Structure 1
Amino acid sequence: MFLNVTQLSVQYPGQAQAAVDGVSLGLRAGDIGVLIGPSGCGKTTLLRAVAGLERASSGSIALQGELVSDGQHHVPAEQRRIGMVFQDYALFPHLDVGRNVGFGIHQRPKAERAARVAEVLQLVGLDGMQSRYPHELSGGQQQRVALARALAPAPRLLLLDEPFSNLDVDLRERLAHEVRAILKAAGATALFVTHDQLEAFAIGDVIGVMHQGHLHQWDDAYALYHRPATRFVAEFIGHGVFAPAQIRQQDGEVVVQTPLGALTDVDECPLPGAYEAGLCDVLLRADDIVHDDAAPVKAQIVRKAFRGSEFLYTLRLASGEVVMTHVPSHHDHAVGEWIGIRPQVDHVVTFERGGAAGSPPAPAIQRSGHPPAP
């Protein structure tokens, strides 16, 4: 692994709980990793520890096989050859774009420095803009100048701390795709911090979900969504709810009984014995629920959010259970209206009834000749 973080803990003096608690992760050369989680979860502290701006209380950080931090040793940030892009870009307003980008390589000969500045500006799509000043640029252009400045010294690792948070919501996801393309073209290895899932999905090869200092899962976006490692990941990623369910045997098949009816014909599902009396909570995501006027189960719309091509409906069943569903926007129903719904669940994910945030799902079993997904 290019970056190896092993059982890393960072604890600030006077605080009872570690800001980062026993985190382990690996990042391959050329990959982009993303840390995501709610405010105060420890993701920025972890990024700062990798940068060398925070000391490890225990555990270790190794970069390209070199130990840069553990409980006893600490390589200073300026000796780690790590580039950083901050939330506020930290551009010098009195310097033009060329001098901002060349700031970190000022010791190089003038001609070599100018060539490198031109090279990275072309990489970020700002070639020919060396003479502009930061106040003459849009927010997105300023962000790319900050990225070019971080790339100019050819760091072995690039760290980005919520770099899009000052931009309009509509611009963030598009710019995340652009930055991913820039980093891939540069062959850069990067670790990125955000609280925005769409940004994380757009830019990351691998994504880590953090909560209260712990890393719950380090995986690709598809696995986080469909095969969450803990109840917290299941709740944090995407739109969904936990509904009470019972797993039981029926005619030789495993059936998951839910408020929406029975889930059958599922390849991956725990056996009833995984829980006492088969009682559990099942994760029902918005794309697991299909609007169908002919369905016997009806639900009342209690909230609707227009998303352009679709609505996100929050629905309440007659039993009081709440579920969510995505519906094409031409199905424009009023709040308070009752509509037909049915379950269409490909990945049955269940948890202990009322379990803690860190509790894992019961393991899937093999049926129908298909191995469980990794």
Structure 2
Amino acid sequence: MKVSRDKDGSKVTTVVATPGQGPDRPQEVSYTDTKVIGNGSFGVVYQAKLCDSGELVAIKKVLQDKRFKKDEVYLNLVLDYVPETVYRVARHYSRAKQTLPVIYVKLYMYQLFRSLAYIHSFGICHRDIKPQNLLLDPDTAVLKLCDFGSAKQLVRGEPNVSYICSRYYRAPELIFGATDYTSSIDVWSAGCVLAELLLGQPIFPGDSGVDQLVEIIKVLGTPTREQIREMNPNYTEFKFPQIKAHPWTKVFRPRTPPEAIALCSRLLEYTPTARLTPLEACAHSFFDELRDPNVKLPNGRDTPALFNFTTQELSSNPPLATILIPPHARIQAAASTPTNATAASDANAGDRGQTNNAASASASNST
């Protein structure tokens, strides 16, 4: 590492950086205007400006256990700087006593489900989906999933800790102490995020683990013996007060789109296997507006790239491609198809981009 000063006297740091993907060799990178934007048990996140391009980046300095560390060399991840979170944007609307425009709810949730479909295709469960972990560029409406500190590759038959995920977004099987859960816990959490964006406040605001279950029962009703068995077989003899389910239409405001309510009901299911998969959620009719070739952001800009699915993303349910990739997107893709040799290279680049988007999760944890 080299430290110098630019013509304005600002500190410039130059380091040797190795690209995270691809065959590129290590190269020198110089940056300035460094400031802390987040920290936690994982390490510290800085914002910095690249001297060559002026681009803002996030640099995550990963802390290591001193018992195993032998020198002052740290892993530093240089990632896209994303200025906002869904949590802060939603809170802005809530404080103004407004609800987030439905087009933004669709854009944010669609990208969240697409992120989940991608990591789940590798067997990776995020285990901490919440609005604070959804990074957002408010100008382009691009969303990135962040903070993979709790993520794990789930293996059938191997136990996992049940005390995981932030309380308001914990799936009921976690509250029941299940250790053999699946990636469908992320789907429950995403359903809670969707409901929160529609309501302007958390749908299940429990004060404790038990109270969290009470809040869920108020809406979904008392789980049946079979539903409890599906969540955790050890709880089948547990007695619960019998409460009827609250109609979903009465949970939300009168003008809430019926398709949004229908999607919520398919995500917030007691039985983990009854929940939609992330890819199925992307194909839900609630997101049909995004598949309209004429749709624009409220600021007049084009929507983010929503339909450039890779084979890996579609691997869990390839037939859904007919819904997920609308005709106009297929025509555009066909028109821009390069030669075979270039196509293979671009396909790899596309996969790298997807990987980097998922990995960027841990880059900018500002909570």
- The interval holding the TM-score normalised by the smaller chain is under 0.3
Name the structure, 1 or 2, with higher relative contact order (CA <8 Å, separation 6+): 2
- Per residue, is there more strand in 1 or in 2? 1
What's the TM-score, normalizing by structure 1?
0.26
What's the TM-score, normalizing by structure 2?
0.26
- Per residue, is there more helix in 1 or in 2? 2
Largest Rg, 1 or 2: 1
